[in-house]
Amino acid sequence: MNKLVRFFLFIAVVSAVLLYAISSLNSSQGYSGGNTLTVFNWGDYIDPDLIKKFEKETGIKVIYETFDSNEAMMTKIEQGGTNYDIAVPSEYMIDKMRQEDLLIPLDHSKLPNLKHIDKRFMDLQFDPENKYSIPYFWGTVGIVYNPKMLHGKEITSWNDLWDPDLKNEILLTDGAREVIGMGLNSLGYSLNDTNKQHLVEAKEKLDTLTPNIKAIVGDEIKMLLANQEASVGLVWSGDASEIMSENEDLDYVVPKEGSNLWFDNMVIPKTAKNIEAAHKFINFMLDPKVAAKNTDYVGYSTPNKGALKYMPKEVVEDERFYPSPELTEKLEVYENLGKKNLAYYNELFLQFKMHRK
């Protein structure tokens, strides 16, 4: 009997030691609260110097991890293996995450710098009253093109892409919403359209674009356009800015029919263990000088009005990346269309890609 008691005592001690070791390891890796903050963001989407500045000012250690798609980000948060304190999803994913109870409501009283955000980008449909999210960067979907390679031709419309002179000249980003949305916009339909007749019509029109398409690609689209491997590309505005910094012959346009207005916002996931530090980080990123420095590094458009005065005049006044309110009114934010409709978009996009072969 004594041997049995000693055996169970031994098991209890070993278990306690293991639990302490795991807890210590998780804490050191930012997987629990305390003095660490675990941030989950897109790759190369923050100035590393700002992380060091935040750590120095607050004494909070930042653990920074990255994802390459909204879906991958949400899956990892749903699994709950890592206690992320901050994440930066796009607007349609924020809508989905709040509906699935994966976000913690924000305490606006702890975000005094929120006053610097442009009111145009607040209280939008995907997050009424910004209960769960705060704008980080925003931009558009449009067309990068090389006027020199096109012998002076100007592109102003989605329908310009169907010009026979553009045979084998167009690169498309590998995204169902972007490509199907382009087809819908070219026909005058909403890029959130769920009418199957309209969607089939858009896909059939895209099929006729096939002779002009050189490739459907991922991140390499930036290098290919900068190196003049193609003269036209469907891209996000932030990528356009980066491409144009590499090749000054390139231009960017948001087509006159309209396009996508996208947002990446900061949220606090349900997995968070350091909610207080998360609010401090969000408020820090909303400081106008911090936002201006971050914008200079990332290259996307900032929603922070206060930051604009710390940025070069030629950047702030460039309507390709800071379009007028008149143009932004014609742009649409992606809506969460639900699994069934998104699956149909993906099915049509796959059919379109197969048609090219």
Could you tell me which residues are annotated as the binding site for spermidine?
A: 92
Length reported for the chain? 357
The residue type found at 51 is: I
Measured CA to CA in angstroms, residue 84 lies from 76, 130, 193 at distances of: 9, 20, 34
Cβ 251 vs Cβ 144: under 8 Å: yes
Measured CA to CA in angstroms, residue 324 lies from 44, 156, 256, 295 at distances of: 28, 16, 13, 19
DSSP-derived pairing of the beta strands 61-67 and 170-173: unpaired
The torsion region of residue 123 among left (phi > 0), alpha (psi -120 to 50) and beta comes to left
168: helix, strand or coil: coil
What does the DSSP 8-state code read for residue 337?
Answer: -
Distance of CA 27 to the CA centre of its chain: 28
- The annotated binding site is made up of 92
Sign of CA dihedral 250, 253, 259, 263: positive
Determine the Cα–Cα distance for residues 93 and 235; give it in Å rounded to an integer. 20
216 CB-near residues (< 8 Å, 6+ apart): 171, 172, 173, 174, 179, 353, 356
DSSP-derived pairing of the beta strands 170-173 and 232-236: parallel
